Amino acid sequence: MTRDWIATARTLSEALPYMQRYSGAIVVVKFGGNAMGDAADMADFARDIVLMRQVGMNPVVVHGGGPMINDMLDQLGIESTFVRGKRVTDEATVKVVEMVLSGLVNKRIVQAINDQGGRAVGLSGKDDDMIVCAPDDPELGFVGRPTDLNVQVLRDLFSAGIIPVVAPVATGQNSNETYNVNGDTAAGAIAGALNADRLLLLTDVPGVKNASGEVVTQLSPEQVRAMISDGSIAGGMIPKTETALAALEAGVRAVVIIDGTLPNATLLELFTDHGAGSIIRAEPA
């Protein structure tokens, strides 16, 4: 038992340089996947976010909620149509999206953080016109592409010691419009507008894999583009890496695609040499 406590104390001591390194840093965390549906995993994630704030970081949580939206659409008997594999978000669907993301999912994450001793406030991209969108593809209806960001409200919350939790629902260029935004896209846009130190994209996979199926722990934008071109990066990893490249171009120092299924994945990435996924940055490591 004593040995376990000594190991814990040593771990905390070894983490000190990283805590000092990230003190005051803005870290945007995209949260989604299986962890959102499991109470224990949600509590673990919330505890990690509270710890980040406790050691002086400024975390922002941006979340998805696709499975919850699907469940609610089924319950309400709203059928979905698809174009090239993407859901068409009509007026009825976008109302459900806003209800589920800004209500059910957002407040569940806020409560989880508050339960761990943090101070969290839930927002959507519509609050203070944080995210203004244009249609991403007219065939998809109310699916938005961020065009204007106003992140002052997030900075105000940082100053008050509050952790923002943002639902990816945005206003349109016409004030009466509501748009659904891909969670990764929203997180990348917010991170860029904040000039964040890190954007952490939590996924259900270990990271970016090469043609041999091995996780590549460090990547440059040039390597990412080459891997997309040769097919090593394919499927759902393409939009994630494209989000990473756009965030870097907007001023984010580094983007990490993290295996969110690992316990304490964000802490492993930020406070240890080991890391927890694939880091992409413009400058050499």
Its CATH architecture, for the domain 21-196, is 3-Layer(aba) Sandwich (3.40)
Residue 115 neighbours by CB distance under 10 Å: 14
Name every residue whose Cβ is closer than 8 Å to that of residue 97 and which is 6 or more positions away in sequence.
69, 89, 169, 180
Higher pLDDT, 48 or 277: 48
The whole model's pTM is what?
A: 0.92
* Cα three-residue angle 182-187-189, rounded to 5 degrees: 95
What size, in residues, is the chain? Answer: 285
Distance, first Cα to last Cα, the chain: 38
SS3 of residue 211 by DSSP:
coil
| Confidence bin at 271 (pLDDT 50/70/90) | confident
Q: Taking the domains of the chain in order of start, what are their residue ranges? A: 21-196, 202-285
Task: Please provide the average confidence, as pLDDT, over all residues in the chain.
Answer: 90
Mean pLDDT of 118-125: 98
Q: How many helices (H) and strands (E) does the chain have?
A: 10, 14
Give the span between the Cα atoms of 184 and 147, in whole angstroms: 15
What is the sign of the dihedral through the CA atoms of 230, 234, 240 and 246?
Answer: positive
pLDDT of residue 34: 63
Relative to beta strand 131-135, strand 144-149 is: antiparallel
Higher pLDDT, 249 or 273: 249
pLDDT tens track for 181-198: 999 999 999 999 999 999
Beta bridge partners of 59: 27
SS3 of residue 268 by DSSP:
helix
